[in-house]
Structure 1
Amino acid sequence: MNTNDIVKRLKQLDTPAVSDALDRLELPGRVTHLRRLTTEQRIAGQVLTVKLGTGEALEGPPRHLCTSAVEAANPGDILVIEQRSGVEAAGWGGILSNGAKVRGIAGIICDGPVRDVDE
């Protein structure tokens, strides 16, 4: 079974079914303390991960670090972003959401500050 077949099957399941299966198989697979901000839609797909931290600004014009993830993603992919370094800047926002929509990204999971949710 290839990855696309697995994704098709996962799209048919709800979160509790996947969580229960992971528990029965004794596989770690849960993230706590995240709350859904939009839609009732289920998502399943390849995941690109981004871990935002603190540090000196990169050389060149200012650019949100998640921009590269949006550009690297394929249609149907899911971006998972972790930003636990503080709230001095949002880990995700409206401009990135517009870019993700244009690229056909299936969903965003952000463990950190998010702004412009209505966009």
Structure 2
Amino acid sequence: MMKYLWLGLIFSMAAFRVMAFPAQGGCKLAQQHQITGKVGRAIHNAAQAHVVVRANMLEASLSNAVQAGVLSYQQGHKQWLEVHSVRQQALAYKQGITSHELKQFDHKLDRVTLYLCRH
């Protein structure tokens, strides 16, 4: 009986590891580039909203990957800091961000996404 409980636990943990990142397009960068967010208080245009929402999703996915054992704490924390930095840089623009700046931010977030997808 105990052997079956352990097998069930192992299979459920394996399933959780697989599910750690597929939400919201997961490794599909084209889908992530289409994500939108709401303009409001500290968010001055749609490009900033996009970066903030995408950063929130990546930070959640990184946290899930660490909790599931897909990434070590150090790996996850390093990537999380990169995403956090991108969000803070995007929010620093008081007039919103340009399409060129958006491409730069998306490129940085793409690197974190691809890192997460490789693990």
Going by fraction, where is strand more abundant, 1 or 2? 1
TM-score range (shorter-chain normalised) is: under 0.3
Going by fraction, where is helix more abundant, 1 or 2? 2
Compare CA radii of gyration and give the structure with the larger one.
2
Greater RCO, CA 8 A, separation 6+: 2
